[in-house]
Amino acid sequence: MSYLVGVTVLWAFSFSLIGAYLSGQVDSYFAVMTRISLATLIFLPFLRPGRLKVSLSCGLMAIGAVQLGVMYLFFYQSFLLLSVPEVLLFTIFTPLYITLIDDLMARRFSARYLVIAALAVLGAAVIRYDEVSSGYWLGFLVVQGANLSFALGQVAYRHLAQRLPPGVAHRHLFGWFYLGALCIAVPAFWLLGDAAKLPSTPLQWGVLGWLGIAASGLGYFLWNKGACRVDAGTLAVMNNALIPAGLLVNLLIWNRDADLLRLSLGAIILLASLWLNARWAAAAAPSMASHP
């Protein structure tokens, strides 16, 4: 849980930096490619190719390609179709996808996790809801593509990690994750990027460097590692915890407008969903122990 909380704080500052120094100034595909390239360079020295089966290495690359590569393509495209408030509103459905995908992979149906995810969506909706434009359906579908990609990557990594051989740490395999994402990011910049909008100031390069090393490199590594240590309900809730955290950072540092009442109510609902999930998990533990 501590990993997810720490990364939530890290990403809350990261999104603010993107909005302040990169959005509309630096080509988004170049920014994605740079971030993933730096993250790949960090974890390549830790790779242990001989310790993993080829099937596991390819699986990790596929997860990285989907969770980072495909997700970013959908995400940045959505800003061409929707306003920023609409994009933020439509990202709140990620917890629902996480619980449904996790149940599908485990071949079960858990009403408990679906209720927890629905509460997380409600909490985020209280914070972020704004009226949407009349022609938003295509944009809605594009954002759901990003949500599904991110959710699928998280759940798939949790399940794949259970098949790792003894002695193989997460840091020994995460290079494959970023190599898979790079297989999407490089062609995307080559085909869709704008070479005329590269970083032009040391500050922009510095922000990109920090985002690549901290937000993308350490961030996704710690987030996926943390996802393996919690249940699907907690993971679903934490996917929407970034919304109040990001708004709070904007309010305190950049003095952006925020509705404090809605922010407080939404945060309370998110915390309540975490508390309810913990209570249900504790109640289910004795029965699980008696049925090995």
pLDDT tens profile 226-277: 888 888 878 888 887 777 777 777 677 766 566 778 777 877 887 788 778 7
Provide the pLDDT for residue 257.
Answer: 61
More confident residue, 133 or 44: 44
Domain assignments of the chain as residue spans, ordered by start: 2-282
The structure's pTM equals: 0.80
pLDDT of residue 150: 92
Answer yes or no: are the C-beta atoms of 157 and 224 closer than 8 Å: yes
Instruction: Record the tokens describing residue 128, joined without a space.
Output: 């972020």
pLDDT, tens digit, 9 for 90 and up, residues 209-223? 999 999 889 999 999
Residues in CB range of 88: below 8 A, 6 or more apart: 128, 243
pLDDT tens track for 155-195: 998 888 888 777 778 888 888 999 999 999 999 999 988 88
Residue 32: pLDDT over 70: yes
Q: Can you say whether residue 199 is alpha, beta or left, with left for phi > 0 and alpha for psi between -120 and 50 degrees?
A: beta
Contact 52, 165 (CB under 8 A): yes
pLDDT at residue 185, rounded to an integer:
93
Work out the average pLDDT over 79-96: 73
For residues 115 and 73, give the distance between their C-alpha atoms in angstroms, rounded to a whole number: 30
Give residue 36's pLDDT: 93
pLDDT of residue 95: 84
Question: Residue 121 and residue 132: Cα distance in Å, rounded?
Answer: 17
pLDDT-derived band at 81, boundaries 50, 70, 90 = confident
Is there a contact between 176 and 64 (Cβ–Cβ < 8 Å)? yes
Mean pLDDT over all residues of the chain? 82
